[in-house]
Amino acid sequence: MEKKQTNANLKKQIVRKVKQSGIDVIGFATVDRWEQFGETPQSYFPQSIFPFSKTVIVLGLQIMIPILDTTPSIVYSELYNTTNRLLDDVSYQLSALLNRKGHRAVFFPRDAYGDISVLVKKPEAAFSHVLAAKYAGLGTIGYNHTLLTKEFGPRVRLVSILTDAEIEPDNMLEKELCIKCELCKKCCPTSAFTTTDNLIADMDKYKCAAYHKTLKDDYHYPCGVCIKVCPIGKDRKLYGMTTKKYLNEKEALEKNPQNEQYSSWVHLRSFGSK
């Protein structure tokens, strides 16, 4: 194996490699931050899962708004699967590269559950990419429990690499990105979010998971409405924000399934799934 490089040079090489692979955002966190903030039980700490862990590297890929707008649809389902596959591929390659350079490193897959039906009974995973991304300076956690980034709001998929390489961590964001507009709550098809005095909502994760199982059975999983309607993110400057259209969608289509304003969304929802 190659001799270990200096941490600064290694970090630059990692960033360059993943950017060349098409990754949109990358951040670095020291595992000490899990203990420092204590927002999850110790068994979920990276250093508890893989004791050699010193640094967690988090990678993210955007979810494109026009396709997300069509949810639930097979085209959004395919986009979701594509980002997942790309994230796992790049994170595997990065872990292997670190191995070749003499560092222990493994990637924690972007989802890590066998089927959505598993989450109906136990709606959580063994490791939180959302917390990892927060500690890696990629964003803050919003009302809807998702990571909000400056670049894409919550429209980003994540994966994490755990390594013994001691790499300089990125600064965490000090200002909350969520403005608590509660559009996610108002548009949620399951009414899973409830108002709370805290920034992050109380959430019925079981109800959310059960709805996702229904979508999976119909081949247009996942839902994604709570990230679709969020106004946060520079991607909104490219595609715009259709608040009124989002808020009126359910009622408008119940009154008239052929409503011209939603015709393209309805068209894409009408093919490739039940």
State the Cα–Cα distance between residues 209 and 190, nearest whole angstrom.
Answer: 10
pLDDT of amino acid 6 = 60
CA dihedral of residues 72, 74, 76, 82 (deg, nearest 10): 150
State the Cα–Cα distance between residues 193 and 203, nearest whole angstrom.
Answer: 5
Q: Which amino acid is located at 144 in the chain?
A: N
Residue 148 in 3-state DSSP? strand
pLDDT of amino acid 201 = 95
pLDDT of amino acid 5 = 47
pLDDT of amino acid 60 = 98
| Residue (of 157, 146, 158) closest to 199 by Cα position | 146
CB count, 10 Å around CB of 229?
26
Instruction: Supply 65's token pair.
Output: 């708004």
CA 41, chain centre distance (Å) = 21
Instruction: Supply 201's token pair.
Output: 């909502």
Backbone angles phi, psi at 162, to 5 degrees: -105, 125
State the Cα–Cα distance between residues 252 and 267, nearest whole angstrom.
Answer: 15
| Residue (of 167, 197, 205) closest to 10 by Cα position | 167
Instruction: Supply 16's token pair.
Output: 């360059």
pLDDT of amino acid 13 = 95
Question: pLDDT tens, position by position, for the chain (274 residues)?
Answer: 444 446 889 999 999 999 999 999 999 999 999 999 999 999 999 999 999 999 999 999 999 999 999 999 999 999 999 999 999 999 999 999 999 999 999 999 988 777 787 777 888 889 999 999 999 999 999 999 999 999 999 999 999 999 999 999 999 999 999 999 999 999 999 999 998 888 999 999 999 999 999 999 998 999 999 999 999 999 999 999 999 999 999 999 999 999 999 999 999 999 999 8
Backbone angles phi, psi at 123, to 5 degrees: -80, 60
The predicted model scores a pTM of: 0.94
157 strand-pairing partners? 61
Q: Is 267 left (phi over 0), alpha (psi -120 to 50) or beta?
A: alpha
Tokens 């990105």 sit on residue: 177
* Residue 247 · residue 231 · CB < 8 Å: no
Angle, helices 7-20 vs 74-100, to 10°: value is 150
CA 30, chain centre distance (Å) = 20
Strands 55-62 and 156-163: antiparallel
pLDDT of amino acid 253 = 96
